[in-house]
Structure 1
């Protein structure tokens, strides 16, 4: 029986809301969960405006998340980040944005 590898990245019930004004809040991401294991390729697909880039920005901590949990390499990176954790993330994790002008039809 082979040992199951631990996920490299775990996202649990991620919520990313943006307050537009005191009466209106955009729920850009509302409760997504996924795991990415070592050596695995993961693609996030959806319509324009469905929250793909917001999920990516939240996972790499360009946004402070509204709610949920993000674990990277066994370390909780959901809350306020210490400077050494922030430095580690900047060297170990990155997002490659789609460039629609460079893609093939």
Structure 2
């Protein structure tokens, strides 16, 4: 996402072999935190996944205070904590979240 010539944030959708998708590398530039950049990027990714017929979106995120804003954003959009996927391993640090696009 751009604001003029500045990058406000980034995000990516990865298509997985089982017909699901993964949200990758969502980041907001520090100058744009708290301005809705993450929500707009997440909305764009969800819309792109629906347009491609993806039935579920998943993501992996970390734990601790520095990840709380992201975790809260994902929950606000309907993502729920779930099992590891796509070869990821569960650790004490990471969380896996999923959104069923059939009900999103």
Q: Report 1 or 2 for greater relative contact order, CA contacts < 8 Å, sequence distance ≥ 6.
A: 1
Shorter-chain TM-score: which interval?
Answer: 0.3 to 0.5
Q: Which is helix-richer, 1 or 2?
A: 2
Higher-Rg structure is 1
TM-score by length of 2: 0.32
TM superposition score normalised by structure 1: 0.32
